[in-house]
Each structure stands twice: as structure tokens, then as C-alpha cells.
Chains A and B, each alone.
Chain A
Amino acid sequence: MPSSAVCLRLAGVRYAVGTASSAKGFTEILSGVDLTARRSEVTAIIGPNGAGKTTTLSCSQGLLRPSSGTVQLLGQNPWRAGAGLRARVGVMLQDGGLPQSVRPRTLLAHIAKLHRHPWPLEDLITRLDLSDFLSTTIRRLSGGQKQRVALAAALIGDPELVFLDEPSAGLDPQSRQLVFDLIGHLRSCGIGIVLTTHLLEEAQQLADSVYILKDGAVIRHGTVAELTDSTAEQNGRSAPRRLCFASPRILTRDELDAAPLPVELDSDSNRAGARWTVAAISAPADLSSLTAWWEQIGLFPAEISFEARTLEDVFWEVSVP
């Protein structure tokens, strides 16, 4: 089987729940999601809270039955999945799904028994650095430790495809790197990885393919390079750039409203001065209109710099009204 083979395909997936308060009698959580994930690739699903990320995963895993549309998980319908299909898929749920009164070693050893050829437990323990708390009941573990146990539980069956719902939530930088390294290892071994995350930097670093969800629909998808349009120059176009500038004072709301392009205040601004970001400068004309605006409000920036656009820029552009 080629390593780039499709391992998950969603076509027009809708999911609705009945709600008495809605005039229609139901609320649509997913409104026609199309998504394709491949082996040897990390597919990231990002979006604001309530966008439908976890519901998309639940429909993909067979935990929820779509109202309409089709889901093909390793070529089969996950809703009717037998043990054979479930053995090939690893799942890490957002809230972990871990029994609180059990020790990690007991849990992992038990899940391993459900598989014919599990991942050797000691190897997984080493890779995820679990040894220090294997004999502590799960309810006593920190959030990051629980995350690592949940990840181990998803991988113990040595799956062909793993779903990771917020895999790095609550992890310290060292643990996050462990998880990133493991995801890289999985990808290099031909495993398909589908993950959701709130951390756009993480998605940018890890993902081969990104789907941005909003209000239950995919509003943008592609590789990170495609989404940030960093390949534009290779195609003979000017690549959009993020422009940052510093001002000695905080701009007023009226001044910002008069700006020709959306201008955001950077979080590292302080009393000594403010830093501002224009997410996308696509043409020289954008620059002209910006300098005209500076002249209009009497601002001479102390510093101007161009940076490559990030996934975060794209995310804010498309997901914030």
C-alpha cells in the first residue's frame, strides 16, 4: 500500500442534534465537512471553540453517526466498525478517557491484551517518559502526565492511524517536545495522524495538511505553505507578508478605524511603545495606502519589518468576522 494512501475521507458530513430551543427543532454541529487524511502525514484540524473539531473526530472514529454524508476510515464505515478496524486505529480523546482509580501500567497492560501485536509496553514507556508515575493512580497524576498516558493508550495497539484530540494540552515544553518527536516518528513509519489543536504554532510546526473549521464547516484547507501563500513567489506572484511596525504611542480607536488594512496590537507591546501587525501585505499598493495612513494620523514608525506570514495570521483572517 503506498504511503500516501488515503486513510480517512469525509464527504459532506453533517451532524445535527435535536434542540427544543431551536426553531428548526435541531442544531447543526457539522454542516457538510469534507476532509481527507493520508498515511505518513499529519492532518491538523484547527478552529475556534465550538467549530466542530471534536465532533468531526467523533464522526470519524465511529463514536457519532453522521446525519448525512459518508465517512471512510481505512476504507470502511467506522459506525459499523468491527474489532478488526478498531484495532488499526488509535484514539486519544480530548478529556483523556482514562479510568481514575487505575494505575497507568495496569491500564496500558490491559489495553495491550486487546491487541494481537501490541506496541511493546516498555518501549512506549521509555518514549513517553512514563516510568516515574506508572504506579500512581491516574487521579493523582498532573494534567500533563495524564495526557501522556492517554497518548500511550492511543498507541499501545500499534495503529495505522491515530486520532489525537488536543495532544499537547497541559504539557510542559519538555513533554511537548517528547510528543512532537513521537508524532514525527509515527509519521516517518507511515502512520496517518489526525489531530486537533488550539496551538497554531504547533499546527504550523507539525502539520502536512491543515483544515480550518468554523461553524461546522471547513472554511480553508491546504498545506501550511498553501495557506500562508508562501509559495506565491515560486508561481511568479508576490507572496503576502506580515508587516510589523512600532509606534511611540498607542493608537486610538478612530485612528485604527481609519487604517486601510486591519491593524492588530501585538501582545508584547508595553508602556515604552506599541508594536502593531498588519497580517497581509500583498502588493506595493497596500504599502502605499499604509504610508498614506501614517501620514494622515501623524505617525512616523520607529521601526518597520516584514515577516513571513504564519498560520496564525491566516487563522485570524478567516475565522474572525
Chain B
Amino acid sequence: MTSAAQSTTTPRSRPAPAHRRVLAHGLYEARITLRNGEQLLVSLILPLLVLIGLHRAHAITEIVPDIDTTAPGVLALAVMASAFTGAGIAAGFERQYGVLAYLATTPLGPTGLILGKSLAVLCVIAVQLVVLGGAALALGWAPEPMGLIWLLGAVVIGAAAFTALGLLVAGTVRAEATLALTNVAWVLMGAAGGAVLPLNHEGAGALLLLLPSAALGEAMREASIHGSLAAVPVLILAAWALAAILAARKWFRWT
């Protein structure tokens, strides 16, 4: 066997080590996302506007909670934007254009592709936490330092749940439908699904606390405000993550 490029007589076609492949793909996708204007709008600009808007609204009326309540909620909204809307829409169009099928034939493979995408989502979320967290701190947010570890834990589990949900949608319906569904769902979950603003814990409305958006918002607010772990919301979020991963494994179609 001769290599076409090198004209040697030994087989040279070998994959890069697995961790390098995943790292390379994660950074590649993160760069693409952060250079995409539409993605930046949904991931950073809109959450930033919500943060500032709620802060201004609180100055006018006490009905709107203060920055200590809204800041972790906006971070939850941002996590949903990257993991669910951003990753879902990107995967939907990649599937439509055959990019997922092509990448599945490279040494990256399906597993590396999913791990790489997850890493990319975490990279984008890291940027969101710095930018939005910095803005919130500038506006007076004072998170409980002991709760930051729980907040980061909730972010990771939330990212897993929403990435799996986004991929589930992207892998089962057309790209245009993914675009519409994930955007509408993001707005609804952000506005009324308990992500940004806390839900009522009593009555029939308490059922909405079972939504992944509410679970993420609750977990992040509990960590930020009280510095403690919100066990039930975290368990709900973990259950969503597990169910979405299993469903995506079963129904996701690469082509």
C-alpha cells in the first residue's frame, strides 16, 4: 500500500487520538457558533437585553423581581439558547446538508461528533457566563459564593438535557421545522416556563415545575440566592437529560 500524498510504502492512514479529535471538533464548532451573527443574537444579545430590561423594570415596579432573582434566570435562558436552540438548529441544517453523515464517516464518528458538539456548547456557555455574569455583577448581582459550584453543576446538567432535546428535534424533523420549533419553545420556556422568573409553587401551576426550563431556573436561583443545592429540580433536570439522551439515541436520524 502506498500513500497517495506521501508516496511511502507503509499504511499511514491513522486517526488522531480520541481526545484530540473531540477537542478539535469542539473548538471548531464553538468558533463557528461564536462567529455566527444569528447565534450570537440568540445566545448573548437577547439574554443581555432581557437582563437589562428586567433590571430597569424592577426599578419601576416591585412586581418584577430584583437582579439576584433574575440574573440566574437569565443565565438559564442563555444555557437554553446555546444548548437547545443553537445546537438544535445547527444540527438540523447540518443534517439537511449531509454534514452529519459526512462527519460520521470521518475518524470523529457519531460518538465523537456528539461529544464534540457537547464540548462546543459548553465553550459557548462559558463565554455566556463570563459576559452575562459580568453584566449582571455590574448591575448589582450578588450571588452566594458557596452556591457557585451548584450553579455550575446545574449549568452542566441543563446543558446535557437541552443539547439532547435540541438534537432530538433536529434528528427527527426537517431543518425548517427545527428552526421554528426550537425558537418558539425557547421563547415560551423563557417567558412562561419558569426559566427567567420563578413559578408559583402552589396549585395546578406547580405542574409547570416539571418542565426542564423551570427545573434549571429553580436550581440556578437556589444556588445563587441561598448557596444550596435544589435537589428536586436537579433530579427533574437529570431525568429530562436521561430521557432526552435515550430518545435521541433511538430516534435520531443522521440523514
Q: Which residues of A contact B (CB under 8 A)?
A: 1, 3, 39, 58, 61-63, 81-84, 86-89, 91, 93-102, 106, 110-111, 113-120, 123-124, 153, 155, 157-160, 185-186, 189-191
Contacts and interface: CB of A to CB of B under 8 A. Distances in A.
Contact of A86 (B1, B15, B93): B15
Interface in B1-28: 1-7, 11-16, 18, 20-21, 24-25, 28
B24 A110 contact: yes
A93 B105 CA distance: 10
Given A62-B105, A97-B101, A158 B12 contact: yes
Given A86-B109, A191-B4, A98 B102 contact: yes
Interface of B is mostly: loop
B24 A61 contact: no
A149 to B, nearest CB: 11
A95 B1 contact: no
B243 interface: no
A63 B5 contact: no
A93 B101 contact: yes
Given A89-B105, A160-B13, A97 B98 contact: yes
Interface in B226-255: 254-255
Contact of B2 (A83, A91, A94, A190): A190
Interface of A is mostly: loop
Interface string B93-108: 1100111011111111
A88 B102 contact: no
Interface in B90-144: 93-94, 97-99, 101-109, 112
A117 B93 contact: no
23 contacts: A61-B105, A63-B101, A63-B104, A63-B105, A86-B105, A87-B14, A87-B15, A88-B11, A99-B32, A99-B99, A113-B16, A114-B25, A114-B107, A114-B108, A115-B107, A116-B16, A119-B5, A124-B5, A157-B106, A157-B107, A158-B6, A189-B7, A191-B4
Given A95-B98, A153-B102, A186 B15 contact: no
A189 B4 contact: yes
> 8 smallest A-B Cβ distances: which pairs?
A97-B102, A119-B5, A97-B98, A83-B15, A87-B15, A91-B105, A83-B107, A189-B4
B61 interface: no
A63 B32 contact: no
Nearest to B111: A83
A113 B109 CA distance: 14
A136 B6 CA distance: 28
A116 B104 CA distance: 17
B255 A114 contact: no
A236 B155 CA distance: 79
B94 A99 contact: yes
Contact of B254 (A63, A81, A84, A185): A63
Nearest to A39: B1
Nearest to B97: A100
A189 B105 contact: no
A158 B2 CA distance: 10
Nearest to B104: A63
A189 B3 contact: yes
A98 B106 CA distance: 13
A115 B16 contact: yes
A120 B15 contact: no
